[in-house]
Structure 1
Amino acid sequence: MDSLLDFEECVKDSPEFRLKLELFEADVTVLETQLDKVMKLCGKMVEAGQAYNAANQLFLAGLAELSTYHRKDGVISNCLNQFNQGLQEMVSFHTMLFDQTQRAISQQLTNLCSQFLPQLVETRKEFVRIGDDLETAAVKNAQAPRHKAADAERASHLLLATRKCYQHFALDYCLQLNTFKTQQRIDILNSVFSFVHAQFTFFHQGFDLLRDLEPTMKTMATQLSQFSADCAAKRKDLENTHLLVQQRDASGEPMVSPCPGSDDIIQGYLFKRSRRKTKTWKRSWFSIRDNQLLYRKSHKEEAVVLFEDLRLCAVKSLEHTDRRFCFELLSVQKCCALQADSEQLKQAWLSALQGSIDLAYRERADSQPKELPPPLCGGDSSPGPPAPRLSVLDVALRGSGNQRCCDCGEEEPRWASINLGVTVCIECSGIHRSLGVHLSKVRSLTLDSWEAEQLKLLCVLGNNAVNRIYEARCSEEGRVKPRANSPRAEKETWIKEKYVEKRFVQNSSSDGAHYCPMKDLETASHSVPGGGKGEAGLRLYRAASAGDPVAMAAALAQGAEVNGSIAEEAGRTALIGAAVGGSLLACEFLLLNGANVNHRDLRGQGALHAAATAGHTGQVCLLLKRGANQYAVDERGQDPLAIAVETANADIVTLLRMARMNEEMRDSEGVFGAMGDDETFQDIFRDFSDMASHDPERLSRRQFSRGGEEEEEEEGEEEVKGGGGETVNSQHGVGKTSE
């Protein structure tokens, strides 16, 4: 640490003090210049960054317009939209970085300079002025005559008073210099540290954001590879078609033919002579349809009927004209001269017109034909298209209050927090993402894939129920909820107070049962002495057992530990209670909020043991998907498969044996990925998950005999079919799959 000014030397006012004081002042001047330079450069950097962000916003707007151009191509549109939203969040993070940089560098260093430097300047002026007065007083005292006692005494008193005043200002000036010298080290280091921390946060947020886009990028890489192959094949096909058409044109074939996919008999370009100016001919597009001759003057105009009924017309070749390849169409009211490009085209048009006239006469004469041509389509008897399935967004917005952002009220949110069970706008989703996945897991309602139980949980919870929990004391705290047009900083402060600090959650000891509608939950606070987290943990366990996600959300908000074990329930956690109670949504809610899927109670049983014992197939499927250990044994030495065999539940035996077989196959072939590599295994789990979420009645327990005897009265042999077509014969071995 640099040496400071010595106050004792200051009182002495020695030459060494004067020299050191000058060095100090020079050092302060240099530091002031450097600080001013750093602040100016910081301002220029922030201005350049803001200009970069503005240009980036324009670029993203151009990308958005490009995505609207490809809106009919779902693959390109979804990709561009998802990347555009991710880049928009990155721009928001960049804006936050520049704001934090300005606060870290400019504001802190400005505070340092404005707090000390002006006062130092004023104090130095007084110090210099009093020093000059001291010099003058010393000279007068030295010049006082000896024989004038009164003058000598007055000069001595003036010198003494001036010296005391000088010492006072000198000490004050030294104190301020020493204080500034000490404080500047802290402020400069703190400023640079804040700037580096802002950079660290920015790149960390960007890494998380791009990591979330990684699955989409991998999917798009596969699609791009497929598109490249398809494009190469299509380009080759186009080149072949182009070559064939070019060869046909070179052979002199007429460029007129029936139009596939339309009712036109023939179509092509012809010259038409003007009725008023006989020497004027204009090229138009002609076609024959529905016994009429039509033409279009240009591609921008609709087709005009030239002859209404070809039965009233006659067609003949024109030989007595100066132009070649002409023919004439005559009717009672008018006549029209037409010209083809070649003799072949002329003959083709003459044949088509005469054939159309003859066909019209035959259809007129035979008003009741014996045979009718087959219809072009199946008619009205064919079944209509199936009703379209609702999208994830449509289902999510049906939840209570989900039509507006949970935190700012913006309409039609496109993002959701799957563990909180709320929908949010894109700006609030970026703030949620910055909280960390342990607090909020953000997912897109339009771009990401959703499992059935997650979407159903979002509808069961919803913004209204969650806001009643997290905003219960908002009016008591005197806070006003931000709106859609509120600044981002205000929304960020609100969301952190709401979900991180839980500032507006109702205290569990005062009104803990407000969010627990079941009667046993209302009396939970009397079961745990002292209340607090223990009370909330017991309410969480009972809410999980009863399958009430709203009450569970309230208990977590009031401080319940998601993995806390309940002593009164033999050390069970809320997840084990949910597995016993049989609520699929309760299990999914706890797993999304960090529940340990492999925690075991005092008897060595985990959630998978409890679900297998209770016969809840949907819960077994969900727990296996979330990585539950199916080989763990309880105090009796039984694993979940042994329990399922003991309780004779064919569906659960099928799931556990398929999961075990999938792991054994993967281990024998090497580690290639997570559980679920086998397609049959994935199909079976997908079917069970959808059935558990949408049609749980179909998952009724089907029992079988361990010894091979029949237990079904009507069926002697029962086959449990999985999603991939595999069967489990309940009479010839438990869970034995057919090849």
Structure 2
Amino acid sequence: MKIEFEECLKDTPKFRQYLSKEENDIEHLEQRLERIIKMCTVAVDSGKDYIKNQSAFATSLWDLQKHFSNDKNAHNALGKVIHCFQEMNKYHTILLDQASRTVLKNLSVFVKDDINQVKDYKNHFTKVSESLDNALIKNAQASKNRPQEVQEAVNILAATKSCFQHTALDYVNYITLLQSRKIPAILSTLLDYYQACGTYFHQGSDLCNDFDEFFKSVSDEVNSMRSSYHQLEKSMQNRHTSVNDYTENNINQSVNRIEGYLFKRKSKGFKTWCRRWFYLCDNQLVYRKRSHEESYTVMEEDLRICTVRPFNDNDRRFCFEVISPTKSHILQADSADMLSAWINALQKSIGAALQFEPQTRRPSSSSPSSNIGSSKKKIHWEQFLKIPGNSTCCDCKGSEPRWASINLGITLCIACSGVHRSLGVHYSKVRSLTLDAWEPENVKVMMELGNDIINKIYEANYTEESGILQATENCENAIREAYIKAKYIEKKFVCQIDSVAIEMGLNAEGGNSENDQSDESKKWGVKKFRRRHRKDSSSKSDDDSINFPSMNLNLSREHLLLVGENLNNSTVQCDNRGILGSDQESTEGEDNIIEEGSLATFNSNLLLYKASAVHNLPVMSMAFALGADKLWKNSEDLNRTPLHQAVLSGSVMACEYLLLNGVPINTADDLGYTPLHLATQKGCIAQTYLLLKHKAQYDSEAKDGKKPIDIAVDKRNADIVTLLRLTRLNEEIGVNDEGNGEDETYKDVMKDFSNFASSQPRLLRNRNENASPSRNETEDKE
């Protein structure tokens, strides 16, 4: 059986495709058999040309063998038979009468009776199918305001559908039985002819004896086929009882696999209705015609931006509407049950797609900053692949990665991205390079890291002796999953903190090693860092070189060990489109500032704290890999968090990196200052916007009684005052408007701030500095 009977009952495109293939197959078989009959007739009628025509007959059998190229046993059996006939061809001079009674008669009967019977039933099936189509159209067109017309259409449809289902089963029955019978029918005819040859030709007896054993096995196989054929015939006759048990509830209606016919209203011209086979595929709603078409048409490319609802503004029943920001589609189901099933399945699919979307903040009336209109844009994703190591998958080294983990700063192939999604967003936040819109802050994070840096951190200690196979492009999914979990969750290949401490000159307990006991003045530090890029590879300068932080610890100057120095020296090139926007505008430059500390104090938490102060994302990544606590506060510095330090550094990318990796946003220091307080105090508009977008509490009060807006008013920073007041106003509007919180003016203004902060931060900062008091009057309170 090549087709399940349910496919016949559903009349799926797969069923129609099966019919087309089988019809072509039978036609091909008929042509070959007719040629065989013709050649045999010529051999009988043309005694003088018998030998020549016998050769042509053998040739036609070779063509027949090709028909069974997918059936090894039949293919081999035919090959043996044909070879035997060719050897016996020189002895066949008196077999004309026997050939006429075997080959010509049996195969002609097979063609006239069996094949023509299937062809006749094809015409009947086509007529019934057309009747069903007409009944479906009439049923769909029946006005719900005319009950009698509706009932008549329903009755006709039910009768026609039942007739069609029985006819379809009969048609498949005839085809299946024919395909099952053709091999034994043809082989048995040829075997009869072979036996006649052995009888009439004493000269070929020796040759026949050589093939007797083989042909005996073929004969047994044919008998077995015949027995199977009779059993199949009986089972096929019982299939009709399933029609009464079949209902449309048997259709697969899982969230991702619902499929079936819907009427689709055309959006142009006369807005006529056409019937198409719809299904869900990769967060897309697609459809195709019933037959003679392999390709499909995408109706909606991204279900995440769609909604679905019933549609009652016309006289057709069972209609619903799929709405996207740019268009609307009216579809019609066959029944109320199918209407409900489609709406529920589409809503669940939309929800499932949104759950797998990278973590962007959703509107919420309870959150004052939840409606901030993020400035997202499609990126020139090819530029990400120019970052060192990004041209291949970070984990399996597969080619052409098209996905990224935005909190890790790496590119991934589709197979590895699926495993990353399964880790959970607290480990990896996956986003498409080609399909998703990207926020400027995420782009900044991606440009600072890359596969080379992350792998030199997370694969530093990988060896084959670890007992874990390294993922490769074509490895099994179990190997890929085990490797990625060991790499990012268990962190088995990261240099342990004790090993790093010993390399820096410390023992495991935190004291100096024997070689360094006399040198108590040694310190460790993290250098201020920002990756630069250049547009022209032919012009290089000192500013073009990039010092990537590393796990190697080199003595940079006397008594100072820099963490993560000289991992790699390379440049990132990008074209004039320049997706890799620099963070230079939102920081205070490089200035070779180094955050230092005593070697005795070295630990992962302090490493993250100091790296955040100099916006050094690679070292921050190293600190997380070494086990830095996201909730840690520095008791030696007003109990501030790494996020406080990132804000003080002036870096948007450092703040975004910490927030992507789960560092709390509203933690207050000993003065009661949250990161939003400090961003307001420093006049960092881009950081203020970023914190509000991530749901920072805009009205928290410090110990001196000041809220962020009070600080902004004191600093006379009009833009930050506007941001904070709009956020508060939006919350009030949201509460008063039944929790909707969808004020369009607020979202437009916030989007403008995002665009300005991303594209022209220096101009935005200068504008506020010109309107602010002198720097002496705005000294940070620490």
Q: Report the TM range for the smaller structure's normalisation.
A: 0.3 to 0.5
Of structures 1 and 2, the larger Rg is shown by 1
Structure having greater relative contact order (Cα 8 Å, sep ≥ 6) = 2
- TM-score by structure 2 length? 0.41
The structure carrying a bigger helix percent of its residues is 1
